[in-house]
Amino acid sequence: HRIEDDHHWLTRQKLAVFGATLIVIGISMGAFESGQAPPDKTTYTEIVDLALPDRLPPQAADQESEEASRLEPSPGAIDGGAVDDWADDQWIVVVVRPGQTLDTIFRKQGFSASLLHKILALNKDTRGLTKIRPGETFEFRKDANGDLLQMRYPLDEARYLLVRNENGVLSAEIQHRQIISEINETEGVITSSLFLAAKKAGLNDAMIMKLANIFGWDIDFVLDIRQGDRFMLVYEKLYREGEFLRDGNILAATFINQGERFQAVYFEDGEVSAYFAPDGRNMRKAFL
């Protein structure tokens, strides 16, 4: 498979989204400020290469059972189609509990210590399996005799370690899962509170906080908000293999507070990411 990671390609994609976002917010705000409903909602789709941490942060693991479930993953687009039988067979999902090691997990699955030793010796990626954390997951696929066929270990939202056992020959490699970014827009009018208006517009708590943080240097959301204030934003929804993953960044936003309009557009290039006003000013003001 081919993973597109060229920096210039990514920069062009970000600039394209940046430009499209400006167009979307410009068109929508024309109707928004005139009091008319915006045109039919438009969704843009883009395949994105996300900059992600090496490991997932520990997830809350309150399951009483180590074997959380047996599930059949939904069919989806694997980057390059490199993974065999992704959705064809059932996988045993094991959630790591506090104090557990991979050795205890393997023994509970009926796998030998010798098999674990061979897997850990495959490469540097498998050697990292000695540092597992509570809340992380392992997925196992077995044959009719209970022997290991494949093991998956998520590294982050877009990558996982895949171990194969083909007729006693072990191999391990990192696989990439394709993440699709859909660009959505929504708007709201405040009648009692920003929180309730944003909830009505379909935003979750995290997105409401992002919206408040963007304009927090210009608007006091405790003292300045008035009935009739309005907001409109363009934001990402991320999908992995056909299933909703999470909301992404707010790409552009407008907030009208007591008749004064504030606008912000998100831009990212390499390690720098920030929100800027249309005239190029950083929305995060420097302390005097």
How many CB atoms are located within 10 Å of the residue 144 CB? 5
pLDDT per position as a tens digit, 91-135: 999 999 999 999 999 999 999 999 999 999 999 999 999 999 999
Mean pLDDT over 228-254 rounds to: 94
> What does the mean pLDDT of the chain come to?
78
Residue 80: is its pLDDT beyond 50? no
Residue 30: the pLDDT is 52
Q: What is the pLDDT of residue 4?
A: 39
> In terms of DSSP H, where are the helices of 47-200?
102-108, 113-120, 124-127, 194-200
Residue ranges of the chain assigned to CATH 3.10.450.350:
7-53+179-276, 67-176
Residue 219: pLDDT above 70? Answer: yes
What is the Cα–Cα distance from 9 to 47, expressed in whole angstroms? 12
pTM: 0.61
The pLDDT of residue 284 is 85
The CATH code belonging to domain 7-53+179-276 is: 3.10.450.350
Q: Which stretch of DSSP H or E encloses residue 205?
A: helix 205-215
Report yes or no: 115 and 98 within 8 Å, Cβ to Cβ.
Answer: no
Tell the CATH topology of 67-176: Nuclear Transport Factor 2; Chain: A, (3.10.450)
| pLDDT tens sequence across 247-270 | 999 999 999 999 999 999 999 887
Instruction: Return the closest-CA partner of residue 280 out of 263, 259, 256.
Output: 263
